[in-house]
């Protein structure tokens, strides 16, 4: 029940953070905000990460290049269907736009041109996160090009995530814990388990970082995203916290 309600409310959950990230980026670019080294916002490149705003542009370009779309594909743990897809776009390392394909969106019924699988069923048909990402990127790139033709030459990445991984990561208390969890989810196959999340295909530099040991990965990413500062996350999830005075 909790998972189902979170899927249904996901638009409201991410809207606050992603719109804030875009607006904050604009304000800093226009030099309307001072002390940007003291402000954290959500990263559109990896939305579960909080990033220091003065480091965002350089870090995103280093990890993902100058222009990219990243689709985060969330798979329902109980049904193995795709629950929803969050797409984000970064230009010159800055957050520009995002859109959500919700669990009841007709776009999830679009079929792969070669195999005939519906988007929502691809994870069930392949039963493999990398194969799923490879097939999805064919369809999702077309959807991106329809919505934003000016970015049709941008790099495109998919990130496959089990729904439980999204919920658990969203409840981690600090930036260090979130990055730890990402390493665990991607590298859990090192102990013989199926991956809980994976990039298809990861950018070269990020792939190099993910192949490091857990401690080295954590230090590198925390250095790039926060200059080793500890950031405690705030709870902004509808349904989890309600202020009677609102």
The better pLDDT of the pair 154, 47 is held by 154
Buried b (16+ CB within 10 A) or exposed e, 192-201: eeebbbbbbe
Who's near 18: CB < 8 A, 6+ residues apart?
A: 42, 44, 47, 88, 95, 98
Query: Over 60: is that where the pLDDT of 230 sits?
Result: yes
User: Which residue, among 132, 118, 79, 104, has the nearest Cα to 7 in the 3D structure?
Assistant: 104
pLDDT at 19: 87
Task: Give the whole-angstrom CA distance, residue 78 versus residue 59.
Answer: 35
Backbone angles phi, psi at 3, to 5 degrees: -60, -45
pLDDT of the residue at 5: 57
- Mean pLDDT on 199-212: 91
Residue 30 is predicted with a pLDDT of 79
What mean pLDDT is predicted for residues 99-123? 93
> Would strands 40-42 and 50-52 be described as parallel, antiparallel, or unpaired?
antiparallel
pTM here is 0.87
What pLDDT digit, counting tens, does each position of 51-110 carry? Answer: 998 899 999 999 999 999 999 999 998 899 999 999 999 999 988 999 999 888 999 999
Residue 241 confidence (pLDDT) above 50: no
Number of H helices, E strands in the chain: 9, 7
Distance CA 207, CA 198 (A): 10
Residue ranges of alpha helices (H) inside 48-128 are 53-64, 122-126
- Nearest-angstrom CA–CA distance, 46 and 166: 12
């Amino acid at each position: 029940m909790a998972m189902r309600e979170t899927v249904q409310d996901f638009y409201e959950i991410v809207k606050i953070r992603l719109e804030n990230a875009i607006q904050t980026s604009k304000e800093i670019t226009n030099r309307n905000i001072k002390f940007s080294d003291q402000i954290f916002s959500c990263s559109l490149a990896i939305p579960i990460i909080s990033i220091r705003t003065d480091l965002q542009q350089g870090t995103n370009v280093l990890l993902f290049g100058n222009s990219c779309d990243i689709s985060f594909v969330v798979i329902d743990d109980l049904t193995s269907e795709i629950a929803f897809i969050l797409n984000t776009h970064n230009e010159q390392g800055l957050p520009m736009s995002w859109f959500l394909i919700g669990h009841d969106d007709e776009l999830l019924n679009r079929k792969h041109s070669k195999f005939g699988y519906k988007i929502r069923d691809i994870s069930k048909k392949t039963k493999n996160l990398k194969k799923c990402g490879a097939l999805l990127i064919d369809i999702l790139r077309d959807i991106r090009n329809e919505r934003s033709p000016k970015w049709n030459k941008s790099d495109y990445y998919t990130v496959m995530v089990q729904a439980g991984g999204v919920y658990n990561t969203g409840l981690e208390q600090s930036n260090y814990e979130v990055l730890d969890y990402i390493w665990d989810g991607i590298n859990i196959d090192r102990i013989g388990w199926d991956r809980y999340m994976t990039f298809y295909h990861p950018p070269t530099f990020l792939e190099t970082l993910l192949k490091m040991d857990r401690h080295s990965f954590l230090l590198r990413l925390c250095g790039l995203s926060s200059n080793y500062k500890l950031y405690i996350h705030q709870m902004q999830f509808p349904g989890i916290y309600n202020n009677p005075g609102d």
